[in-house]
Chains A and B, each alone.
Chain A
Amino acid sequence: MIGFNLRGAWSIYQRELMRAFRTAFQSVIAPVLTTSLYFIVFGSAIGSRMEPIQGTEYAAFIIPGLLMLTLLGETTSNSSFGIYMPRFTGTIYELLSAPVGVAETLVGFVGAAATKSLILAAIILATATLFVDYQIKYPFLAVGFIMLVAASFSLFGFILGIWADSFEKLGIIPVLILTPLTFLGGTFYSLEMLPAPWDKIALANPIAFLVSGLRWTFYGTSDVSIGISLGLTLGFLAACTAIIAFIFKTGWRLRE
């Protein structure tokens, strides 16, 4: 057990996944339904009357953005809820008194949240095929980028779940910040379609780089360089990891 409590991490991971299955409607069916509605309304109904953007049919163009929209919201919510609930109910005592540290906790909670997100992403992409005819240009890069985003926002959600001291605070970031930023980050349009100076101002939105990066892996076209998107995501991952390491070191909001 010295160094890393693998069974401990696996137990947390398994339990978190079980929790997702227990709440399958909330975790999987609801986001799939919502995304399907986007495909029907924006992809099929409105999209059929739109010109191709960056050489891609509009219905296919919005897939990466819609995927990112669901991915960011669900990953952050799942992860934040995963650690917030034990704090709220008091069951965190068991985690704190067990021989598990930051590594096991992250592998368990964040790993489970990221896994759920990947499953969700696969289901959404499969659902998209029902409405849109699309091809992924760089499938391995797309999976890698999705995994990177899922891991980063699982870490971010974990921080959120530790920071929040009420259900209201738990919902603020995904609903009031992530969702609007994703909508404004080029989910339904290319940034170059925006009039000046909004096309430049839009680059202040970090989510635009994620949407653009994922779109590049899908179709080879993007608003910003894939290198910048990748670098920014890796930087975000590193920053979240550092914050969580600090939280465990100081016990902030975990240990009295």
Chain B
Amino acid sequence: MAEVTDEAILEISGLSKVYKGGVRALDDVDLTIRKGEIFALLGPNGAGKTTLIGAVCGLVRPTSGTVTAFGEDLARNWREARGRIGLVPQELSTDMFETVRRAVSYSRGLFGFPPDKARIEEVLRSLSLWEKRDSQIRELSGGMKRRVLIAKALAHEPDLLFLDEPTAGVDVELRKDMWRQIAALRERGTTIILTTHYIEEAEEMADRVGVIRNGKILMVDDKDAMMQRMGRTEAVITMSQPLDELPASISVFPVELRADGLELWYRGGDGSGKGREDVAALTKALVRAGIDYRGIDVHDSSLEDIFVGLVSETEEA
């Protein structure tokens, strides 16, 4: 498996974008992407994810700030850098009357690479598109069209790949298939930046996660570290009899009584499993205290919970 290194493949510094009419889509964004990692950029609609990708890929003119890719300033030496970047856009934008193979070959040529039938076949086969190689793109299903966009982005063997909502509108099976393909790309050493609405997707694949809202990066961290730092376990223990108060042996846990004493709520721990250990200890303590219960519901917070909490906090602030 390709290693994630500390070497920066993309450095974004002080990047801002103000659209006509004054909408500030990006607000002084600083972000560094490490070589070989999968980075998930999360944010609600209109947070600035697509604008950020557009600013790096040449679709959007930044108002200020710098973008350095592979050590080259993109504003000056854009040719070299762009030749090593691939983009899969959010919209299903492609020439619908073109055949799959010709569309992918065109992309390779556009990026300055010589024709390579073997490479095109490899890409098409890896995305299960080989059987459809001579079909017009308009004849394909939505999921297959998205695969074509991925194939087009991979045709020139990019070192850095942007996937803007890669699984939007595709069914669960195809989504998981794409996750496998993205993982395979990473194995080959491609650095991947993806935006997604499916937090589960980021949780499944990303090495690091960034949260953006209102054009500002709220947080960037290793996914596991973020889960550990911000993850929590919640447990609801349903009592056989309502409790008026908690004995001291139970009060030491981060618990509270709800539903007129019929439910004991636990919220604590971290994203590394400490919360579940606490809950086990809590149930033993209840038994020792002679308190009977008839049900336990335990839930570890997901990246989605963390994301929603983070976004809500800043909204309130």
Contact = CB atoms under 8 A, between A and B. Distances in A.
Contacts of B112: 1, 5-8, 99
Interface in B98-115: 102, 106-107, 109-114
Contacts of B54: 256
A94 B108 CA distance: 11
Nearest to B83: A99
A234 interface: no
Interface residues of A, number: 29
A97 B59 contact: yes
Interface string A1-36: 111011110111011001000100000000000000
A89 B95 CA distance: 8
Contacts of A11: 106, 109-110
A94 B82 CA distance: 11
Contacts of A6: 112
| Interface of A (DSSP majority class) | helix
Contact of A2 (B58, B79, B106, B109): B79
B94 A96 contact: no
A101 B80 CA distance: 12
B58 A7 contact: no
A93 interface: yes
Given A1-B79, A2-B80, A89-B93, A97 B57 contact: yes
B78 interface: yes
B82 A98 contact: yes
On chain B, which size bracket covers the interface? 20 to 34
Given A12-B110, A22-B97, A90 B82 contact: no
Contacts of A12: 110
Contact of A8 (B59, B87, B89, B109): B109
B85 interface: yes
A103 B86 CA distance: 22
Interface in B55-95: 57-61, 78-80, 82-83, 85, 87, 89, 91, 93-95
Contacts of B61: 251, 255-256
| Interface of B (DSSP majority class) | loop
A256 B109 contact: no
A14 B115 CA distance: 13
A162 interface: no
A255 B58 contact: yes
Given A7-B114, A90-B89, A98-B111, A255 B59 contact: yes
B292 to A, nearest CB: 63
Contacts of A2: 79-80
B19 interface: yes
A1 B152 contact: no
A207 B95 CA distance: 35
B2 to A, nearest CB: 24
Contact of B110 (A8, A18, A22): A8
Contact of A15 (B80, B82, B106): B106
A93 B89 contact: yes
For the complex of A and B, list the 6 residue pairs with the smallest distance between their C-beta atoms, beginning with the closest. A11-B109, A90-B93, A97-B57, A1-B112, A99-B79, A99-B82
15 contacts: A5-B112, A10-B109, A14-B109, A22-B97, A89-B93, A89-B95, A90-B93, A93-B87, A93-B93, A94-B107, A94-B110, A96-B58, A96-B59, A99-B83, A256-B54
Interface of A: 1-3, 5-8, 10-12, 14-15, 18, 22, 89-91, 93-101, 251, 255-256
Given A93-B87, A99-B79, A255-B58, 12 more contacts: A1-B79, A1-B112, A6-B112, A11-B106, A91-B94, A95-B110, A97-B59, A97-B82, A97-B85, A97-B87, A255-B61, A256-B60
